Amino acid sequence: MKRILITAIAVLMLLPAFAQETGAGDNRQALETARLLKSQYKFDEAITVLTSCLSPGSFDPAIMKEIADCHFQSGNAIDAAGVYALLYQLDPTDLTVKVRLAAISYRQKDYGNAILFGREITATDTIPAITTMVGDSYAALEQPDSARVWYTMTLDRQPRNAGAITKLSAILLQNKEYDKILDLTGGYMEYDSTNATINQIRAKIFYIKKDYDKTIDLLTFNRDSLEDDSYHTHLYLGLALRETFQFRDVEKELVRAWQIDSTDYTLALNIARVKSIFNKDFSSGVKEWYDKAEAVLTPDPLDLYNVYKTAGDDCVAKEDFDMALRYYEKALAAYPTGLVSVYSIAYCHMRKKDYAKARIWYERYLKAGKPGTKLYEAAQDDLDYVKRELFMLEK
Residue-wise pLDDT tens digits, 289-320: 999 998 888 778 898 999 999 999 999 999 99
pLDDT at 11: 47
Residues of the chain with pLDDT under 50: 5-6, 8-22
- The whole-model pTM stands at 0.74
CA dist 348 → 204, 281, 323, 393 (Å): 38, 18, 10, 19
Q: For the CA atoms of the chain, what is the radius of gyration?
A: 33
Tens digit of pLDDT for each residue in 139-195? 999 999 999 999 999 999 999 999 999 999 999 999 999 999 999 999 999 999 999
Q: What are phi and psi of 377, to 5 degrees?
A: -65, -40
C-alpha to C-alpha distances, 190 to 185, 186, 226, nearest whole angstrom:
9, 7, 17
pLDDT at 57: 64
C-alpha to C-alpha distance for 32 and 34, rounded to whole angstroms: 6
Q: In the prediction, which pLDDT does 168 show? A: 98
